Structure 1
Amino acid sequence: MASFKPTKVQTYPKLGEKVTEDTLYWKNYKAPVQIKEFGAVTRIEFSPLPPHNYVVTASTRLQVYGPHSQEPVRSFARFRDTAYGGSFRGDGKLLVAGSEEGLVRLFDVDGRVALRQFSGHTKAVHVTSFTSDGYRVVSGSDDLTCRVWDVASSTELGSYTEHTDYVRATATSKLNPDLFISGSYDHTVKVFDVRLGGCVLTLQHGHPVESVLLYPSEALLVSTGGRYVKVWDLLKGGQHLVSLKNHHKTVTCACLSTTDNRLLTGALDRHVKVYNSSYKVVHSFDYATSILSLAVAPDDEVVAVGMTNGVLSVRHRKHSEDKQEMVGRRRRGPAYRVFVKGKNYVPKQDDFLVSKTTKQHLQKYDKQLRSFQVSKALDTALQTWKRFSKPDVTIAVMMELNRRGTLRNALAGRDEQNLTTLLHFLLKHVTDSRFSGLLLMVADMVIELYHQVIPQSPIVERLLQRLMELLGREAELQQELLQVLGVLDTLFASLTPRREVTGPTATPIMQKS
């Protein structure tokens, strides 16, 4: 009796995104390291100077981490209530943060006690940042105001009340210490000039603004809020350039990478999107819960993400020395000669050869095919994980059933649940060019078998109707494509130059008399 041959699963080309340099660059990160904080991580910012430590604002603490440390190297817990907006000064030596109490505190990175305390806001201060000269601090509050403070004297230099709702985003100019930008829940982004004492430009974002970001050249401004990321040209008076809608929930944060100034955005939909210079998504990071904060190290070595569940996720870039170290750590296995020992031995004439039968390991659907249980084999191939992650296995089983001539028997006699599973698979893959040759035939069999058999099941009726409509559209499309091919063939035939026949056998062309 001949041995049973397992079902051969063909390898199909993968349909997916085009692999580009951006894709390879952003995939070159290790698995994330997760650090549990005391509350939701509302802000992350890297120090501009090496070794690029980063400050994490969560609950009532500011915690400073090293680029490769999983424990904080410095912690500031002098807040009675929730802390917000921890930010470094340009030299990396001072920290500023707001709080739910309405106070703004200034810290020395190497100390623990607050050096300055600015009081004047009447409600929570959610955003703070230093101006480029390092001598002033800008803060935005739920009392609808933005204020500028003098670091040396702890006095208020100006208060701006142009917003009509909570101020939840600020950004300061690195080129001009007198300019700063604020974003508010009143759907506007405003550019302020301290020298003029007020707002000089207003942009309508259209949704509550969660964050604002300036490009290094400061010609472009990014605002996020709602599901939208909008880019503005400040050199043309705030002209709206691009509106991106790649997230399906509120976009909460944005930052820039050092390499080619790639834009990264994080949202409540648990995704971080990376955009190229044409504002097309080139990569995406997925996380467990909603994202509140995002930062990339100045050298792109670390990507840090803060989430609503208090988890800080940190990814480090891979390097060639890391790969060599991993190879060096692997346990040395048996030598190659151990595995090939005796493989090439040729028995002599008087030797008695004892053959050893090798056990054949079959998949579950192969065992059922061997037992001629064709319906059960198809059910096994239509299991959830197979039909979603490995549809080529399901296709291979259908091809084997068709080769045996038992495909119609396997499709017939199905109950409502099994038929629904089969119809969902057909609706998803029948138009896939890799599988359509077989699945179109399967779809015709299913419609012929069940179109008039189960009128009492509304679910099956609806799925069958969708399948018939899909097949109708596919037939119309193929007919149109055939017509186009016919037209192209005619054009190509008319454009092909005819060869002139020369020699004694050539027929002379008659001239007009």
Structure 2
Amino acid sequence: MADLLVEQPQEITISKTFPTKPKLKSKPKTPSKTPESKYWSSFKSHQISNLISSIPSIDFSPISPHHFAAANSASLTLFSPHTLSPASTISSSDVVTSCSFRCDGSLIAASDLSGLIRVFDVKTRTPLRRLRSHARPVRFVKYPLLDKLHLVSGGDDSVVKYWDVAGESVVLDLYGHRDYVRCGDCSPTDGEMFVTGSYDHTVKLWDVRVDNKESVIEVNHGNPVEDVIFLPSGGMVATAGGNSVKIWDLIGGGKMVYSMESHNKTVTSICVGKVGKESGEEALQYRIFSVALDGYMKVFDYAKMKVTHSMRFPAPLMSIGFSPDCMTRVIGSSNGIIFAGRRKAKEDVGESKVGNFWALGSVEEPQRRALRPTYFRYFHRSQGEKPNEGDHLIMRQKKVKLAEHDKLLKKFRHKEALVSVLGGKNTENVVAVMEELVARRKLLKCVVNLDDEELGLLLGFLHKHSTMPRHSGLLTGLTRKVLEMRAEDIRASDALKGHIRNLKRSVEEEIRIQHSLQEIQGVISPLLRIAGRR
């Protein structure tokens, strides 16, 4: 690097109007924001913390405005999707384990640990039906998407039941699981098919039209199954258990398509939802959302088979729900806190403004006077307008603020610029100024013209930073030149001799460290070579 200090013929920049920057500094890589991360960052976070215990189940109403229900302790709480505040509460005689809205949103079914399933009117909170047949706690209850008259349930008695809600009677008892039935889901394309998951590691597909009451397809997840959902096509299901989420092709006979294992602890709940821009607009794609006891929510794009987004929450997560209009995300935790997120739509803002105007009465828009060349407003028209998508923007260049050493370099006061930057504490700026002086072929001339005090500043800087690997190439060569050119001045000054002694000690220490590293490398290299052969 000492060759850089030798004056060579090259093109010289006469004027300098930009700040000096070090050439040897590596630029850190900042990850660019993807459209997926921008979409999820648009959700405004909100915590609902007035609930009593764990939130094992969350379900959204399929009818706009898509209220959602959360099961907590011995109650079922209904929330408004706009304000994220409780709208009403339905009490139960035991701990509620699961809830499900009917396809028209007017009824909701809730199961509890006593083995009872009750159907409520959403508006009046009146209990309409009591379904009791399970001998042990009921863990899930589900309304078929295309059916208003039946229910599917499963519990710790290992039995799956198909109910006639109007008659409060069991249509079918389906036996096949050998352990607790903890989850289930109904087909989005066929109201008479549903799937259930159990702690016996199996997931079974049932068809109520089959006479022998046996499952149509059975797959083995490999772990106790915590949740299972149909994907929108109806031909695939996703299962959660252990630390993995697996996708199965039912049309292909139950073949596993992919296994996503990005969670560190047990995955407790999954759901599927559409990722869109705004409410009412066409959704972009479907995603699988999973939550686990490790506190993470993962967004999985099963079209590309990769995790596209991840969020961390300060508690183990038990349940998740995503609204059909892509506007609300709700996550239930084990400590009774609901982590909700709501996107703010343009129509919401418009409605609130209109609502305020209605409260005040009719408001007429004030008439503005016509623009004339004699008005001040005439010369400032359209300056507050926002650009359209196809407009070409001409931005004003930001004024560059130059530091003191940059101003001195601009005026060709090279020695003063070097002394000014040496007085500061920014190593990168000092190296940048030195590189600029090398490019101008003025660094050695500046070294010659330094007085004893300024030379002391330079030697102190070289003592501290000449052994740094990032700058050693430049500073080691400069140190050699300084010792050659200012040897007589250094011998005549005790202060400069002290700097040289310190510099010598730092160089000797660096040499000792390098020798030690070479010895260690000599010991490790044969071992690595032997390990590579094996």
TM class by shorter chain equals: 0.5 to 0.7
Corresponding residue for residue 366 of structure 1: none
Give the 3-state SS of the residue equivalent to 2:40 in structure 1.
Answer: helix
Identify if the C-alpha distance between structure 1 residues 114 and 203 changes in structure 2 by more than 3 Å, giving closer, same or farther.
same
Corresponding residue for residue 112 of structure 2: 99
Name structure 1 gaps, 5 residues minimum. 1-6, 326-368, 375-399, 412-435, 454-460, 474-513
Q: 1:342-421 alignment to 2 at 5 Å?
A: 404-407=461-464
> In structure 2, what residue type is equivalent to 1:120?
S
Identify if the C-alpha distance between structure 1 residues 320 and 50 changes in structure 2 by more than 3 Å, giving closer, same or farther.
closer
Q: Does 1:237 align with 2:253?
A: yes
Q: Does 1:115 align with 2:140?
A: no
Identical-pair percentage: 31
Q: Does 1:266 align with 2:291?
A: yes
Corresponding residue for residue 62 of structure 1: 76
Give the 3-state SS of the residue equivalent to 2:177 in structure 1.
Answer: coil
Give the 3-state SS of the residue equivalent to 2:216 in structure 1.
Answer: strand
- C-alpha deviation, 1:35, in angstroms: 3.3
Identify if the C-alpha distance between structure 1 residues 19 and 323 changes in structure 2 by more than 3 Å, giving closer, same or farther.
farther
- C-alpha deviation, 1:12, in angstroms: 6.2
Corresponding residue for residue 207 of structure 1: 223
Q: Does 1:219 align with 2:269?
A: no
Q: 1:77-476 alignment to 2 at 5 Å?
A: 77-79=91-93, 81-131=94-144, 132-196=146-210, 197-258=213-274, 259=283, 260-276=285-301, 277-319=303-345, 404-407=461-464, 437=470
Give the 3-state SS of the residue equivalent to 1:405 in structure 2.
Answer: helix
- C-alpha deviation, 1:465, in angstroms: 7.0
User: Structure 2 length normalisation: TM-score?
Assistant: 0.61
- C-alpha deviation, 1:111, in angstroms: 2.2
Q: Which has the higher contact order (CA 8 A, sep 6+)?
A: 2
- C-alpha deviation, 1:280, in angstroms: 1.2
> In structure 1, what residue type is equivalent to 2:259?
S
| In 2, Cα distance between equivalents of 1:246 and 1:15 | 24
| In 2, Cα distance between equivalents of 1:401 and 1:246 | 53
Identify if the C-alpha distance between structure 1 residues 13 and 126 changes in structure 2 by more than 3 Å, giving closer, same or farther.
farther
| In 1, Cα distance between equivalents of 2:48 and 2:332 | 10
- List per-residue Cα deviations over 1:329-380 (Å, max 9, x = no partner): xxxxxxxxxxxxxxxxxxxxxxxxxxxxxxxxxxxxxxxx9799x9xxxxxx
Q: Does 1:35 align with 2:49?
A: yes
- C-alpha deviation, 1:215, in angstroms: 1.2
| In 2, Cα distance between equivalents of 1:446 and 1:213 | 64
User: Structure 1 length normalisation: TM-score?
Assistant: 0.63
Paired residue total: 363
> In structure 1, what residue type is equivalent to 2:286?
N
| In 1, Cα distance between equivalents of 2:339 and 2:472 | 43
Is this contact kept in 2: 1:35–1:70, CA < 8 A? no
Identify if the C-alpha distance between structure 1 residues 50 and 449 changes in structure 2 by more than 3 Å, giving closer, same or farther.
farther
| In 2, Cα distance between equivalents of 1:182 and 1:265 | 18
Identify if the C-alpha distance between structure 1 residues 445 and 103 changes in structure 2 by more than 3 Å, giving closer, same or farther.
farther
- C-alpha deviation, 1:72, in angstroms: 1.6
> In structure 1, what residue type is equivalent to 2:137?
A
Identify if the C-alpha distance between structure 1 residues 313 and 450 changes in structure 2 by more than 3 Å, giving closer, same or farther.
same
Identify if the C-alpha distance between structure 1 residues 8 and 320 changes in structure 2 by more than 3 Å, giving closer, same or farther.
farther
- C-alpha deviation, 1:220, in angstroms: 1.5
| In 2, Cα distance between equivalents of 1:96 and 1:130 | 8
Is this contact kept in 1: 2:465–2:471, CA < 8 A? no
| In 2, Cα distance between equivalents of 1:402 and 1:280 | 55
Is this contact kept in 2: 1:37–1:311, CA < 8 A? yes
- List per-residue Cα deviations over 1:20-77 (Å, max 9, x = no partner): 3222222221133333311101111110110000000111110110102343212111
Name structure 2 gaps, 5 residues minimum. 1-19, 275-282, 352-421, 428-456, 475-506, 529-534
Corresponding residue for residue 419 of structure 1: none
> In structure 2, what residue type is equivalent to 1:162?
G
| In 1, Cα distance between equivalents of 2:191 and 2:77 | 27
Identify if the C-alpha distance between structure 1 residues 401 and 150 changes in structure 2 by more than 3 Å, giving closer, same or farther.
farther
